Amino acid sequence: MSLAIQITLNGESRAIELDDPRITLLDLLRERLELTGTKKGCDRGQCGACTVLVDGRRVNACLTLAASLEGASVETIEGVADGPELHPVQQAFIDHDGFQCGFCTPGQIMSAIGLLREARVHGDPERVREQMSGNLCRCGAYAGIVEAVLDAERLTARESERGVA
């Protein structure tokens, strides 16, 4: 059985032929589209390492059946930086040492970007902790992650005040 879907992937329209209906978005990205930045930590929606944005919202790519994504927009870690210019969230993760081994980091960053788009943090570290709890970090970089998200929120707010996109 062959299935075709049309999706927007990191801003680019893509027609994708699926060789198997069982393919998840995660395995599509990693094994078929050479986008390996998104990680497989548990494959069961229990760790968040595979977090990507679908239609602007963060989801677990491992529990998303690729075939059902017809018409969807998908953003992955590879599409976040503007060329050599890091996204503010990426830079904040470096500045606050918000990772150690780095394996959960693409998922953390996509989750943080999704969180900031939801605009419900309001500078409250407790809200960041709760809202970032879908992303496990076994190294225990949580303190830096919280600081990074708050920092990126402040920066984004300042930029939007200045009218910067």
Partner 1 sequence: MSEFVPITAPARQRQQASIGQPVKRRDGVAKVTGAATYAADNHPKDMLHAVMAVATIANGRVRALDVAAAKAHPGVVEVMTPENRPALAKNPDDRDNPFMFRLDLLQSDRVRYANQPIAVVIAETFEAATEGAALLAPRYDVEPAQLDMHADSEAFVPEAVGPGAPAESHVGDIDAGLAQGSHRVDSTYETPAQYHNPMEPHAVVAAWEGDKLIVDTPSQAMTIARGRLAGLFGIDADDVLIRSPYLGGGFGCKGALMSPQVLGILAAKMVGRPVKLVPTRPQMYGPLGHRAPTSQTLRLGMDDAGKLTALSHHARTTSSMFDEFFEPSANISHTLYASLAISTTHDAVRVHTGTPMFMRGPGEASGSVALESAIDEAAHACGMDPLAFRLANYADVEPISGKPFSSKRLYDCYAQGAERFGWAKRVLAPRSMRDENGLLVGWGLGTATFPVIMFEAEARAIIRADGTGVMETGAQDMGQGAWTALAQIAADSLKLELDQTVFRAGTSDLPDGGVAGGSGHTATVGNAIDAAGRNAIARLIDMAVADTDSPLHGLAADQVEARWGRLQAVDDGARSEGYADILRRAGLRELEGHGRGRADADVGERYAMHAHGAVFAEVKVDPDLGQMRVTRMVGAFAAGRVINPRMVESQFFGGMIWGLGFALHEKAETDPRTGRIMNANLGEYHVPTNADVANIEALIVNEDDPHVNVLGIKGVGEIAVTGTAGAIANAVWHATSKRVRRFPIGVADMIAEPATAD
Partner 2 sequence: MNHFDYVRPTTIEDAVAAASEPGATYLAGGTNLLDLMKGGAIKPARLVDITHLPALNRIERDEGGGARIGALVKNAGLAYDDEFAHDFPAVAEALLAGASPQLRNAATVGGNLLQRTRCAYFYDPASACNKRVPGAGCDARDGLNSNHAVLGFSDACIATQPSDFCVALAALDAVVEIAGREGQREVALTDFHRLPGDTPHQETRLAPGELIVGVRLPKEAAAFAWHSRYLKVRERTSYAFALVSAAAALKIDDNGTITDARIAMGSIAAKPWRAYDAEAGLIGSQIGIEAFAAAGRAALAGAAPSGDNAYKIPLAQNAVARVLARAAAGTPRELPALPGAPFATATGELAHV
112 binds, among partner 1, partner 2, none (CB under 5 to 8 A by kind): none
Pairwise CA distance, residues 126 & 137, whole Å: 17
Q: Which of 48, 88, 98, 106 binds partner 2 (CB under 8 A)?
A: 48
CA distances from 159 to 57, 107, 109, 121, 164 (A): 22, 24, 19, 17, 5
CB of 85 to partner 2, least distance (A): 27
Residue of 144, 152, 143 lying closest to 115 (CA atoms): 152
140 makes contact with partner 1 (CB under 8 A): yes
What end-to-end distance do the CA atoms of the chain give, in Å? 44
128 makes contact with partner 1 (CB under 8 A): yes
73 makes contact with partner 2 (CB under 8 A): no
Pairwise CA distance, residues 63 & 25, whole Å: 8
130 makes contact with partner 1 (CB under 8 A): yes
Instruction: Compute CA 87 distance to the chain's CA centroid, rounded to the nearest angstrom.
Output: 12
Contact set with partner 1 (CB under 8 A): 19-20, 22-23, 27, 30-31, 34-47, 49, 76-78, 80-81, 86, 90-91, 93-95, 97, 99-106, 109, 126, 128-130, 132-133, 135-146
